[in-house]
Amino acid sequence: MQTREIYYAYPMGKKVSFAFVAEQYIDMLSFKYKVWRVSEESFYHFRPLFSFPFVIHPVIYFCLSAKHTLNYLRLNQEFLIGFEVADTDRISQLGIDIVNYMDLLIVPSRWCKEVYLKSGLKVPCEVVPHALSEIFYRPKQEPYHPYLKKLKEIKKKRKLVYGLFFLWHSGRRKGAHLVAEVYKEIIKTHPNFILIIKIGNIIDPHLVTLTKLGSIVVKGWLNDQDLLALYDMCDIYLLFSLGGGWELNGIEALARGEIVLGAEEGSWTDYLPREFQIPVARKVKIFTDGLPSQVHVGCGVEIDIQKAVDKLHIILDNLDEWKAKAEKYAEEVKRKFSKETVGKRLLEVFDKYLEGE
């Protein structure tokens, strides 16, 4: 049987989550499809010679500034597939008008699908989660980086419990203010709980507050071994994001056996065990300016700070029991979100719509 060919447009060469996920999916699709990659720069004036199915990832971001290309593709390509996420609980009419140009929309979680349907999506929508990187299936790792080595030695010597929080960007959206409030309360009764904050090359005002509370900052890029070692030396991950389409750090921490605490509403509920979820105190606006505010116009959620503190009290007083639960969930997560499992799901969706299987 002749190999089916598809075009796949995504932000090639950029260190952004959309590019990382697109590369994952292209690798999975290549088992059955010949994939022709289209860069973001090429997309804006792309006029394909052949009428192959065309994938756009992410579709709203690409097409907001290239409506002429979208119109051309709609008229000339046999099938359009868009990948998207929902960062808030409602998508603007502008965003919905774009995704309704597609023949199929694919999102990473059931929560994202519900958001698009409630916002007015008219085309079919399928859920295909993001897959865990293969590095997260390695055995427990020892740190190579001298700073991480020192942190692990201190932990053992002083019998500390390490929390972890990734502050890559957008401190408020990632819930840095909530992390600070919870941390301020919990160290009053559990001074052996130390928060480690992993940052990139950013300056965020919330970082000042967190460091004044005694947090430890780990800065810069880590290789695979040290990234795993960082996850492995920590015990509890604070996933207090207000919103987001998947929140990769949460599932990575869970896959390494960390206790991961997050809100009971959001995309992460697809992988976060019910007993690790925290009640929501209120819904809040996330974006007020920039491109996201034109599309993700709804609200995000803020965890109930006191309920989070109460949960942490219980966990820290019974840490071995909760760590055992986390290790059990880690195996489940690694099975459910492996490259093989997600790849099978992705191919099933493509076959269903492109091959009628």
pTM over 0.95: no
What's the CA gap between 93 and 120, in Å, rounded?
A: 8
Average pLDDT rounded to a whole number, residues 222-244: 96
Residue 64's alpha-carbon distances to 67, 70, 100, 175, 183, in angstroms, are 6, 9, 13, 28, 40
Does residue 356 surpass a pLDDT of 80?
Answer: no
Residue 54: predicted pLDDT: 96
Contact present, 190 and 316 (Cβ < 8 Å): yes
Q: Do domains 4-131+338-355 and 134-336 have the same CATH topology?
A: yes
Average pLDDT rounded to a whole number, residues 237-251: 94
Contact present, 336 and 255 (Cβ < 8 Å): no
Average pLDDT rounded to a whole number, residues 185-196: 97
Give the CATH class of 134-336: alpha beta
What's the CA gap between 339 and 130, in Å, rounded?
A: 9
If 0-12 CB within 10 Å is exposed, 13-18 middle and 19+ buried, where does residue 162 land?
buried
pLDDT confidence band for 2 (50 / 70 / 90): low
Kind and range of the H or E run holding 62: helix 59-64
Q: Which of 62, 14, 155 is nearest to 23 (CA)?
A: 14
pLDDT in tens, 245-300: 899 999 999 999 999 999 999 999 999 999 999 999 999 999 888 888 899 999 99
pLDDT in tens, 296-312: 999 999 999 999 999 99
- Measured in residues, the chain has a length of 357
The superfamily (CATH) of domain 4-131+338-355 is Glycogen Phosphorylase B; (3.40.50.2000)
pLDDT confidence band for 1 (50 / 70 / 90): very low
pLDDT > 70: what percent of the chain?
99
Residue 185's SS3 state is helix
pLDDT > 90: what percent of the chain?
82
What's the CA gap between 297 and 357, in Å, rounded?
A: 37
Domain boundaries, the chain: 4-131+338-355, 134-336
Beta bridge partners of 9: 38, 56
Average pLDDT rounded to a whole number, residues 18-41: 94
Strands across the sheet containing 54-56:
33-38, 4-9, 54-56, 80-83, 104-107, 125-127
Contact present, 213 and 184 (Cβ < 8 Å): yes
Backbone φ and ψ of 182, nearest 5°: -65, -45
Kind and range of the H or E run holding 73: helix 67-76
HEC letters along 204-253: CHHHHHHHHCCCEEEECCCCHHHHHHHHHHCCEEEECCCCCCCCHHHHHH
pLDDT in tens, 118-171: 999 999 999 999 999 999 999 999 999 999 999 999 999 999 999 999 987 777
Q: Record the tokens describing residue 312, joined without a space.
A: 């942490």
Contact present, 196 and 207 (Cβ < 8 Å): no
pLDDT in tens, 66-94: 888 999 999 888 899 999 999 999 999 99
Cα 230–Cα 235–Cα 241 angle in degrees, nearest 5: 85
Strands 33-38 and 4-9: what pairing?
parallel
